[in-house]
Amino acid sequence: MAEVVVSKTGLFSSCHHQNMSLFPKTSGSSNLSVSFPPKSDFHGQRIGLQQLGRPFPTPQFQPVHSQLQQPGFRIGKAHKWWEKGNQPNMKEVTSAQDLVDSLLNAGDKLVVLDFFSPGCGGCKALHPKICQFAEMNPDVQFLQVNYEEHKSMCYSLNVHVLPFFRFYSGAQGRVCSFSCTNATIKKFKDALAKHKPERCSLGPTKGLEEKELLALSANKDLEFTYTPKEVEAVPARAVEESFVTAPSCSVRESFPLPSTTLKSGKISEERSIVSAGR
């Protein structure tokens, strides 16, 4: 690219600040041209002359994604509202198998199933309260079930209203279930205080009910299998012995009922007389 130095004193004074064009003669048909508007003031700065007939170079713009990859340029991760304020004893369920295993592995702990939806305004407003309860009760396990991601599983569990909660306690299994909002948060407080275990429960942890496990297993959209437990058959001899050894009614011993006997085609009624002191 050819360059020329233009100064105000040397060039513009002789041209009386008129429009000026430079046409250097070249061997080819193309030439170089530059024009200056009146009252221009370059003060001896260098300017470039673009050869006529050739397009100006296209400006190079750096794409946005490349700017984001530059060192020192970071954007904070946008947390989902159901992840904000979560405590160590809060966990989001990933599958039906994860739900069943989490309930069985909880032992004697009280487990709270929290069914929510990202687009539910009531669920979003209630979430900070649930986080506070989880912080005040570290021995209670809170399981979050995303309705939008596990809609088929929620149908099998008969969950059709949000926000919805179910409480499970050791060998007792499900102890209560209800729906509540910020206006009715007292229901959640009362259930938490009532079913929080004070001592170890007797027997193995129950978890989901038998019919719920069968419903999850029958759902073709879920990768979950369940084998029903076999019911032990009671021997017939044991059943007969239980009837033989059963205690008789004391009412019959104190007050015998009238008995009827059939003699020679006639029915004679014999009444037993109970006389006290004779």
Count CB atoms within 10 A of the CB of residue 101.
13
Q: How far is CA 69 from CA 59, 61, 78, in A?
A: 21, 15, 18
Annotated catalytic residue within 120, 131, 154, 200: 120
Question: Which is the catalytic residue, given 123, 131, 154, 249?
Answer: 123
- Strand 110-116 with 141-146, pairing: parallel
Evaluate the omega torsion of the peptide bond into residue 163 and state whether it is cis, within 30 degrees of 0: yes
Instruction: Give the span between the Cα atoms of 129 and 108, in whole angstroms.
Output: 24
3-state secondary structure of 46: strand
Strand partners, 7: none
Q: How far apart are CA 120 and CA 114, in angstroms?
A: 13
Angular region, 128: left φ>0, alpha ψ -120 to 50, beta rest: alpha
Q: 154 an active-site residue?
A: no
Helix (H) or strand (E) holding 145: strand 141-146
| Residues with a known catalytic role | 120, 123
